Each structure stands twice: as C-alpha cells, then as structure tokens.
C-alpha cells in the first residue's frame, strides 16, 4: 500500500467520505487512490475557489469535514479566499494541497511555493506529511484537528513522494476532543444581569446558538427576562422560518448599526464576538456598541454553547413557552422588481426545508423581514467578506443536504468570481436555484465610495460598472449545462422560481434589477 492509499483509507475511517477536488500532476497518486479505494464521493470543481467554497457549504450542512484536493501552493492560493470565508464560519475542512516531492523542493521548480506559510493564514492546524509511513496517521490527526470546537481548517500538505512511496499504514479514527464548557461564573454573571432586567440587555447570538435548539433556548430566556435577541451580521448557518425566533442581525452599514444598537447597556455574547465595523471610516465609530456598555461572555465560540444556554435557562427557571408567531406567510410579489417584492416571493414560494445561500450583498439587506414567516429553512451567509462564496457554498450545501432545495441569492459581480460552480451543479445534478441579482455594477463599492467621503469621477465609476459589455447570464449558464431564463418583473420572478422548484437539477434566474 502506498501513502496515498493509506490516506484515503484513513480519511474514510475517520468519517470523511466526500472530497472536493481540482487535482494536478503532483496529486496523481492521490487521484489514483481515490479510484482504487471505494467509498469516497469525489466532486470536481473547475477552479480551486469552487472546491474550497463547496467544502465550506457541505460542512455547514453535515457538521463534519469534507476533504479538498488542491494542486500545490498555487492551487491553495486560488482557493484561499473561500478558505478565509470558511475560517470565519468556523467550518471544519481537511484541506489537502499536493506539493513537490521532498527531494525536489531544493531545486526550486516552477510550482515550488511556501505552501505551509500560505496555509497558516487560513488554517488552525498545518502539517506536511514527510513520509508515506505517517500519511495515514497524519490524516487521522487532521480530521481530529478540524473537529476541534467550534471547527477549523486543518491543512495536510502532501508531497508527491509521500503519496507514491510504499509503506502506507491505515490509521484508525482518533477520538473527538471534548468541547469545553462555560465557567460557572460566566453563567452566574449573565444570570445576575438578566435578573435585574432593564431594556438595554442584548443577547448576541452566533454559531450553534442560531441552530433550532439554540434559538428555542434563547427564546425561552428572552420571554422570561425581556432580553433582546440579536444575531451577528454574518452567520455560518441560521435556522429561520415560522415557529422559530426571528432575529434581526447587526446591520452592515455603520450608521444604521450604531442606531440599531444604541440602547445597548449590557451586551451578552453567546458564540459571538463584539461587533466591529467591516472597515474603518473617517470620523466614524469602529463598533456599533456604545462605549459605556458592559460586555459579558455567556459562552465563547469554542465552548459548548447549547450547554451554556441550557444552564442559563435552568438557573433563571425559564418556563417552556409557545413557539413564536412570525405572522402570515408573505404573498407573492407583484409589479416591479424591488428588494421587498423579491423577498416576498422568496418567502411565499420557498419549500419547507429550503437552504438559502446568501451572497445578495447590497440588494439583499432587507430580505430577512419578508422571509421570517416562510416555512422552516436554513440561511447561510458568506462570513468572511471574500466575494465569490455564494455559488460554491450553494453547491456544497446541496451535496451535504440531498433532498433539500438550495436557493442561491446571488449578486452578479460576486458570481463572476466562481461562476464555474454552475458546471459542477450540472455535473452532479444538484437541486440548486441560482437567482442572479443583475444590476450590472458593483453596487456595494458605490456605497463604500460615499462612506469614505470620496468624490468619484468617470474613471472611478467605470471601475464599478459591469455593463460594458453586459453579461448574458442565461447564455453563460446554458454553456455549463444549466437551464436559465431572465425577467425584469416580480411576476416573472414568481413564475420562474415556481418553475425551478418543480423540477430537479440546477436552474438559473437572472433578475434585471
């Protein structure tokens, strides 16, 4: 058995049965091993950013890592933007870039790179498998490391001679390391704050606090104490829909965020961090939280968040309460395409159990209010701000949650970074509806020009313009095997969305907004 074969066997024994890949020459023995060793679902992406973004979306739905297969240091570099997003989402990934043979590295061949150095910026654990005899054990250690709470990227670099040399040894799965619990003082301090009451108490939720179980506990605590529930601005996965607590998120726009959080007197963090602005702006605050607010940590992201919420609810003797009523399901939008009509149609038509992969950026900031009374669904955000996360995230989510319709609400400019994901969706016959919000400009950057007080002229505005020439999204989708259509009305969107939800496989809708 060679090292690559021991790698695949060891990954499977550790529960990793899906590999998103874009291989090159240095990884051919790994590729051959994936062929010889049954049990691994191999998914090809035509760009490494699709590979890493799909691994992110997959793990968010399944709760365990996929493996990636990337071509040396440059392949890792191509995938790093979505590894950055995955790191911000605390997503477990076993990230496997190939590398030059150990004895070839000193010759500085063209693909030789500082692969370990590049990997450290997006990984919580990095190792190079220097010997075929240790590859299996290294793989088991990588899976264990990826699953350390709240989840992280474990990068195992695989030199080609460690793959092809004989002597590989299959490693058994290593036990999952225990998740630490919150200190009793954390619980007691928060309980004391909530017993005192007051209108300025805010419980800021992130991570698994936004799961169905976490939201149910938070809702009980809120109903008993009056604490306001708020979600982080961007979240890996958030349970939403009728019967689940509907939370506002900390807004993106700094002035709006400051106003929304102005009454905060006691900020209680639960799987979250103190909000900061995406960027620094001249003469504007760096956080939406008032300077005189007191901050408490109920549970840090690496602690057992559900256990902490349970202990807090028990300490406060919070009774069981009725599920929240989020109002009536919205009616299908009519007339012109607006953020409100698009969101209403989404809320009216999405099936029970849908997964929303959201990279709607500027246009979609109001989507939450009109989808809170939709059927049960999960909402996935691009968490790290690196654009191009939406299409691959939707792809991975569809593989991780078969039988559930994935709807990718997608800005047009961001989609062009990883549009190759459509090809993978067609190849894998995935139930993904991609809704392209086609305003033919980088709208978020126009807003940022105003935020920083810049006075743009023609050259600057041209760099925000995607309309010269116009991108023909239906033709682009068709070329990759995905059926597509476009519309410029809310009625047309309703018809096309309904059509896509009745059929199997991928479908793209271009909204001319």
Please tell me the predicted confidence (pLDDT) of residue 439: 87
- Burial class for 121, CB neighbours closer than 10 Å (0-12, 13-18, 19+): exposed
Q: What is the pTM of this model?
A: 0.95
Predicted local distance difference test score (pLDDT) of residue 444: 65
Looking up tokens 């271009």 gives 510
Rounded Cα distance, 130 and 127, in Å: 9
Q: Is 241 left (phi over 0), alpha (psi -120 to 50) or beta?
A: left
207 with 150: CB under 8 angstroms? Answer: yes
pLDDT tens per residue across span 83-120: 999 999 999 999 999 999 999 999 999 999 999 999 99
| Other Cβ atoms closer than 10 A to 38 | 8
Q: Burial level of 108, CB count in 10 A (0-12/13-18/19+)?
A: exposed
Considering the chain, tell me which residue range(s) the CATH 3.40.50.1220 domain(s) occupy.
184-315
Tell me what pLDDT residue 465 has: 80
pLDDT of residue 365: 82
508, β-bridge pairs: 434, 484
- CATH class for the region spanning 184-315: alpha beta
- What is the fold of 339-512? Rossmann fold (3.40.50)
Tell me where in the chain the CATH 3.40.50.970 domain(s) lie: 3-164, 339-512
Give me the sheet containing 201-205, strands edge to edge. 248-249, 228-231, 201-205, 266-270, 294-299
> Which regions in the chain score pLDDT beneath 50?
none
Angle at 342 between CA 337 and CA 347, to 5 degrees: 155
Q: Right CATH number for 3-164 from 3.90.25.10, 1.10.540.10, 3.60.70.12, 3.40.50.970?
A: 3.40.50.970
């Amino acid at each position: 058995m060679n090292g690559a074969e021991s790698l695949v066997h060891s990954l499977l024994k550790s529960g990793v049965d899906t590999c998103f890949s874009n291989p090159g020459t240095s990884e051919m023995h790994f590729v051959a091993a994936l062929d010889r060793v049954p049990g691994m679902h191999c998914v090809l992406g035509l760009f490494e950013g699709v590979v890493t973004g799909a691994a992110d979306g997959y793990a968010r739905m399944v709760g365990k890592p996929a493996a990636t297969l990337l071509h040396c240091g440059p392949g890792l570099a191509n995938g790093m933007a979505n590894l950055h997003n995955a790191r911000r989402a605390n997503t477990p990934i076993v990230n496997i870039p190939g590398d030059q043979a150990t004895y070839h590295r000193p010759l500085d061949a063209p693909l030789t790179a500082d692969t370990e150095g590049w990997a450290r910026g997006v990984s919580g654990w990095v190792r190079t498998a220097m010997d075929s005899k240790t590859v299996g054990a290294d793989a088991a250690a990588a899976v264990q490391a990826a699953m350390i709470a709240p989840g992280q990227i474990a990068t195992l670099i695989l030199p080609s001679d460690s793959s092809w040399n004989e002597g590989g040894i299959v490693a058994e799965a290593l036990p999952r390391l225990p998740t630490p619990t919150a200190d009793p003082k954390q619980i007691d301090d928060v309980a004391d704050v909530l017993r005192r009451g007051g209108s300025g108490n805010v419980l800021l939720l992130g991570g698994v606090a936004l799961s169905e179980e976490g939201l149910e506990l938070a809702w009980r605590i809120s109903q008993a104490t009056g604490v306001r529930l708020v979600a982080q601005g961007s979240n890996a996965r958030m349970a939403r829909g009728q019967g689940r607590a509907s939370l506002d998120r900390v807004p993106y726009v700094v002035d709006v965020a400051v106003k929304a959080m102005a009454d905060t007197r006691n900020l209680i963090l639960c799987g979250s961090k103190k909000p900061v602005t995406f960027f620094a702006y001249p003469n504007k605050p760096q956080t939406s939280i008032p300077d005189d607010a007191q901050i408490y940590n109920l549970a840090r992201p690496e602690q057992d968040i559900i256990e902490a919420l349970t202990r807090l609810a028990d300490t406060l003797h919070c009774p069981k309460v009725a599920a929240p009523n989020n109002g009536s399901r919205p009616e299908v939008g009519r007339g012109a395409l607006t953020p409100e009509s698009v969101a209403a149609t989404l809320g009216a038509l999405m099936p029970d159990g849908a997964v929303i992969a959201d990279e709607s950026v500027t246009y979609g900031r109001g989507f939450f209010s009109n989808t809170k009374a939709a059927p049960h669904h999960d909402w996935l955000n691009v968490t790290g701000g690196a654009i191009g996360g939406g299409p691959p995230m939707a792809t991975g989510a569809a593989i991780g949650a078969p039988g559930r319709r994935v709807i990718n609400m997608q800005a047009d400019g961001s989609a062009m970074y990883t549009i190759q994901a459509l090809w993978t969706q067609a190849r894998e016959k995935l139930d993904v509806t991609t809704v392209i919000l086609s305003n033919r400009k980088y709208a978020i950057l126009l807003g940022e020009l105003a935020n920083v007080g810049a006075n743009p002229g023609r050259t600057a505005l041209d760099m925000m313009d995607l309309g010269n020439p116009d991108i023909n999204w239906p033709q682009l989708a068709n070329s990759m095997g995905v059926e597509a259509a476009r519309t410029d009305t809310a009625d047309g969107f309703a018809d096309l969305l309904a059509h896509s939800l009745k059929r199997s496989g991928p479908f793209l809708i271009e909204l001319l907004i």
